[in-house]
Structure 1
């Protein structure tokens, strides 16, 4: 069996078992909707599912309609407040499940590039972002998507909704952007050193915390 390191909280790290031969394909994200049930996604349409808090994982495979082989990379899995699940994927698609992960469909957003990240806002709006600073937005549960207005063309690596309902994104070339209209448009800035930003989270004090390949970095 392969092994997956899962941080349970600040004080405890659990080493979990995954199916033999699948560990190397887990390159991207893990999402838990509860303390026991979660999913991990990665290369070549690979998805793993756990119902015991990550102690063991079973393999699931997402195959896009008409696909001759499992070549769709799954970059970022996230959920909304109604237990619907979404995955930002390659080739401008978003995978969606409305039955708790039992079945999945692929939705074409109209974009040809890859989406690397996504978030479901408190009001139900869905956002996905990726190559060349692209952000797409859906207000109907992922059925239809429209492109947001963005200020930079640096690829988006992560996004988060803050307590004041603003949305913050980070990306390559030291770019960070924010939206105060539920992702319709984004303004932003670029670091002088152009350090690539890989993740953004809400800190304990309600401020944004940026990450680079070297760890936390001052905004």
Structure 2
């Protein structure tokens, strides 16, 4: 009996020593840094001290160090569907839109988000959101979906447009009431009275337009499929194509300090336009696939796309902020 007890004691001690010296996995931090290069990004937004990115599976990422590191925001509820665009009403109140008519709202600069609208009955995406000033916001998307909020995005009402259910992809405007909406099949709508009335402009291109930018009351740029970029110097009365030297679609843009734009798209295309919408440079970055979005954060250019978010400062892009 004593020998059995002694054997069991020795066995217990041996197992304890073995366990003590076994290699341990490293402790996982409560909020580990997020690999922002492993999330498809559809839109970027700089709100001063913070940069935000939205993308696949309801992802909302935020960075407080100009894109060097990222954390995941808290979304309630998390529906795991793609988010496509976001906008700031001020430095605290933000809105994000996505598939299934999903609209999210934040009141703490993007740290926490709550759902204010969702409709999965049709599964149709919202593709853009634009702040009209004050409490007024517009959201738009597939098959002519166009909504307005007059209470900073808390409630939404549909607005009718005579566009035969065309997809709406981009919107811009100014405090003087001049606005433009662009979409598929070269659709361009213009308003002179803050969206009370819309005029469909004569077609000057048959492919999809993905974005529109107001450079001044008269100077506007729109861009889209097959590398097509157009500029107007008379608020859309006439348009002229800007030859950028490639036929790859362009999906997003960022304004540059001092005026001008950078446009990004498929094949890591990067096109720079000056303050009048004329071509300044066109190039491609190797190894980053399709780019969907861009944001100037200080002197750094952040790019987003199918390979997440990254900082581009090499080559001709180093002078973009000058």
2:199 aligned partner: 105
Task: Please tell me whether residue 30 in structure 1 is matched to residue 124 in structure 2.
Answer: no
Q: Which runs of 5+ in 1 are unaligned?
A: 65-69
Q: Which runs of 5+ in 2 are unaligned?
A: 1-100, 313-322
1:118-129 equivalent positions in 2, closer than 5 A: 118-122=212-216, 124-129=218-223
Provide TM-score, normalisation by structure 1: 0.87
Do the aligned residues in 2 keep the contact of 1:114 with 1:131 (CA within 8 Å)? yes
1:150 aligned partner: 244
Aligned length: 212
Task: Please tell me whether residue 92 in structure 1 is matched to residue 186 in structure 2.
Answer: yes
2:211 aligned partner: 117
Provide TM-score, normalisation by structure 2: 0.60
Q: Which has the higher contact order (CA 8 A, sep 6+)?
A: 2
Q: CA-atom RMSD, angstroms?
A: 2.3
1:48 aligned partner: 147
Distance across 2 between alignment mates of 1:126 and 1:22: 36
Task: Please tell me whether residue 10 in structure 1 is matched to residue 104 in structure 2.
Answer: no
Q: What is the deviation of 1:26?
A: 3.2
Do the aligned residues in 1 keep the contact of 2:300 with 2:311 (CA within 8 Å)? no
Question: Which of 151, 157, 162 lines up with 1:63 in the alignment?
Answer: 162
User: 1:111-152: CA deviations, max 9, x gaps?
Assistant: 111101111114641100000000111111122211112122
2:290 aligned partner: 196
Distance across 2 between alignment mates of 1:51 and 1:59: 12
More helix by percentage: 2
User: 181-190 vs 31-40, which deviates more?
Assistant: 181-190
